[in-house]
């Protein structure tokens, strides 16, 4: 076997391996606390501050950015109009599935900034009727 053929075979193996490593993304999936929140959850005081801190920054879910628009003024209507929650089966709501990493990639992408109980707050809010309160 010639040296040229060996080098080519090594490249054929090495390039995909190197390429896979460069595409590898570490995602932290935050487990549910399994503690159901039974107190009233307010969209404006409990949910919106987390959305502001983690989701509605420039380039993400802000006005003119990626849908849904989770800015203060538009978060509720964007989630409602986009059908991001399902009051009949809250655990199957898109917004909840994204937060828990069960639908596509976890949101926010760097889940470390996502408070560990936002999943349960979002689920409780949906179970309580997903009110604009």
Range 37-47 average pLDDT: 91
Q: What are the sequence ranges of the domains in the chain?
A: 29-127
Vertex 101: Cα angle to 95 and 106 (nearest 5): 80
Tell me what the mean pLDDT of segment 13-29 comes to: 43
| Number of alpha carbons in the 13 Å side-chain half-sphere of residue 98 | 14
Sign of the dihedral defined by the CA atoms of residues 115, 62, 73, 77, in that order: negative
Asked whether the beta carbons of 71 and 63 are under 8 A apart, the reply is yes
Per-residue pLDDT tens over the stretch 52-109? 888 877 778 888 888 999 998 999 999 999 999 999 999 999 999 988 888 876 676 6
């Amino acid at each position: 076997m010639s040296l040229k053929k060996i080098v080519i075979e090594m490249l054929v193996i090495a390039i995909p391996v190197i390429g896979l490593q460069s595409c590898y993304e570490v995602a932290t999936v935050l487990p549910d606390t399994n503690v159901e929140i039974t107190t009233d959850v307010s969209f404006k005081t409990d949910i919106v501050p987390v959305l502001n801190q983690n989701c509605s920054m420039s380039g993400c879910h802000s006005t003119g950015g990626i849908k849904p628009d989770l800015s203060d003024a538009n978060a509720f209507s964007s989630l409602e109009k986009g059908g991001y929650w399902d009051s009949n089966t809250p655990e199957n709501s898109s917004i909840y599935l994204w937060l828990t990493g069960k639908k596509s990639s976890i949101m926010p992408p760097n889940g470390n900034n996502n408070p560990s109980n936002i999943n349960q707050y979002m689920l409780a809010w949906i179970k309580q009727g997903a009110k604009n309160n």
